[in-house]
Structure 1
């Protein structure tokens, strides 16, 4: 699909973007998550500087991303181990026939 022009508001600043049509919803949702997180930080911490709020938000999402990546790697390792064990069982089964 083609590119479209959209405007995204993050921390009271508007950013014009050109995005693929299929990415628009994800980008808008991401901007909403960021703005909600900033609002949460403003309400719960004595921080008013937008740069500090954005830095805290970036740290939150970067940490979440790294945790998710680690979880995926661990799950992939677990699946690979299970496949190896199944392969061994099948090999043993068919070699005894």
Structure 2
């Protein structure tokens, strides 16, 4: 069975033929929906701004959110602290 499917994704009034993994279809369509929601919100708010500039603003907003989420999901400081505490505990129990 082929895990790839072909879909026509509609965003910003255009159609994009894509081949995607079957299990990603819902997420891909939801992403396109989110783009359209933000695009339409900017269009309503900035009536005299070109579509090109509005698309740039939408891309910027998604990129900024992505970077913020990346910072929130950075577990390195916690991993380092857990390692440090584990070493302290191991040292303590070896001395007992």
Question: Is 1:60 the counterpart of 2:61 in the alignment?
Answer: yes
Inter-partner Cα distance in structure 1 for 2:16 and 2:7: 8
TM-score where L is the length of structure 2: 0.85
Report the CA distance between 1:79 and its aligned residue.
Answer: 1.4
Stretches (4+) displaced over 4 A: none
Q: Paired residue for 2:88? A: 89
Q: What secondary structure, in the 3-state scheme, does the structure 2 residue paired with 1:5 have?
A: strand
Q: Which segments of 5 or more consecutive residues in structure 2 lack a partner in the other structure?
A: none
Q: Paired residue for 2:25? A: 24
Inter-partner Cα distance in structure 1 for 2:23 and 2:54: 29
What's the CA shift string for 1:9-47, capped at 9, x where partnerless? 110001111111011111000000000000110112234
Inter-partner Cα distance in structure 2 for 1:96 and 1:34: 59
- The two structures, once aligned, show a CA RMSD in angstroms of 1.6
TM-score where L is the length of structure 1: 0.85
Report the CA distance between 1:48 and its aligned residue.
Answer: 4.6
Q: Which segments of 5 or more consecutive residues in structure 1 lack a partner in the other structure?
A: none
Q: What secondary structure, in the 3-state scheme, does the structure 1 residue paired with 2:9 have?
A: strand
What's the CA shift string for 1:45-80, capped at 9, x where partnerless? 23452212211111000111111112222xx13312
Q: Is the 8 A contact 1:6 1:16 kept in 2?
A: yes
Report the CA distance between 1:91 and its aligned residue.
Answer: 1.9
Q: Paired residue for 1:33? A: 34
